[in-house]
């Protein structure tokens, strides 16, 4: 199971468990995190719903920004390596176990929280030993990352553990009361702010006629 080492800061201010008291999630991040997962992001593999690892990274960037998160491989261990002879050739099955830490940062670079989780990954009946190791390692690391990210809720596949449902299961967090972020992050409110900050539309247009002195 995931180990939430540090509780995330709230929209109205950090909790007593927050390591850096300046860190917090902004209203736009909270708005995105409260949304249900888009159905097009959900994939099926052997009848099981899941989110691809690249898509998890994409949404980490979208919500926390470039450089707004880090992924650390805490451990990566070879569990098994089996060779099966196929005539003059060999087929390889390899299993790895990975432990990964996902750390999230606020826009000022302060740590918000981090999660750790582990997973095993295998590569079965592969013709090349190197490819078998590579595939098994990547699978274990990707699965561990995805398990870490589910602590961020529905945008990262938490609802899929509810029999593959795409309907949100979080809906509300008392630590992040809606009145603190819904209005601030409303796209209509943002549009109004942009209009207020925009320069006047009545801009001076350059004259195409030459000055009177040169006519």
Q: For the segment 99-121, what is each residue's pLDDT rounded down to a tens digit?
A: 999 999 998 889 999 999 999 99
| C-alpha dihedral, 187 to 188 to 192 to 193, nearest 10° | -30
CA dist 34 and 30 (Å) reads: 6
How high is the pLDDT of residue 122?
Answer: 97
pTM of this prediction? 0.74
When computed from its CA atoms, the radius of gyration of the chain, rounded to whole angstroms, is: 25
Query: Which pLDDT belongs to residue 172?
Result: 87
Model pLDDT, residue 193 = 52
What is the per-residue pLDDT for 87?
87
- Helix (H), strand (E) counts: the chain: 4, 6
Residue 113's DSSP bridge partners are: 104
pLDDT score recorded for residue 186: 66
Strands 89-105 and 69-86, how do they pair? antiparallel
Q: Whole-angstrom Cα distance, residue 5 to residue 175?
A: 17
Q: What 8-state DSSP symbol labels residue 46?
A: T
Low-confidence residues of the chain, pLDDT below 50? Answer: 4-22, 201-204, 214
What is the SS3 assignment for 50? strand
Beta strand segments in 106-205, E: 111-126
Pairing of strands 48-50, 69-86: unpaired
Beta bridge partners of 101: 72, 116
């Amino acid at each position: 199971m995931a180990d939430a080492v540090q509780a995330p800061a709230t929209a109205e201010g950090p909790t007593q468990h927050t390591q850096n008291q300046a860190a917090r999630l902004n209203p736009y991040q909270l708005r995105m995190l409260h949304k249900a997962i888009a159905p097009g992001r959900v994939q099926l593999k052997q009848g099981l719903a899941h989110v691809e690892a690249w898509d998890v990274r994409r949404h980490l960037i979208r919500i926390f920004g470039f450089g707004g998160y880090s992924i650390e491989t805490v451990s990566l261990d070879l569990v098994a390596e089996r060779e099966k002879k196929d005539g003059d050739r060999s087929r390889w099955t390899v299993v790895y176990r990975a432990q990964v830490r996902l750390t999230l940062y606020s826009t000022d670079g302060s740590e918000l929280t981090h999660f750790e989780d582990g997973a095993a990954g295998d590569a079965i009946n592969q013709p090349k030993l190197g490819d078998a190791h590579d595939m098994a390692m990547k699978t274990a690391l990707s699965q561990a990352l995805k398990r870490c990210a589910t602590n961020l809720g529905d945008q990262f596949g938490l609802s899929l553990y509810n029999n593959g449902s795409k309907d949100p299961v979080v809906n509300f967090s008392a630590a992040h009361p809606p009145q603190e972020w819904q209005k601030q992050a409303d796209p209509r409110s943002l549009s109004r702010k942009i209009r207020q900050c925009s320069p006047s539309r009545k801009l001076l247009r350059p004259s195409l006629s030459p000055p009177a002195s040169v006519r």
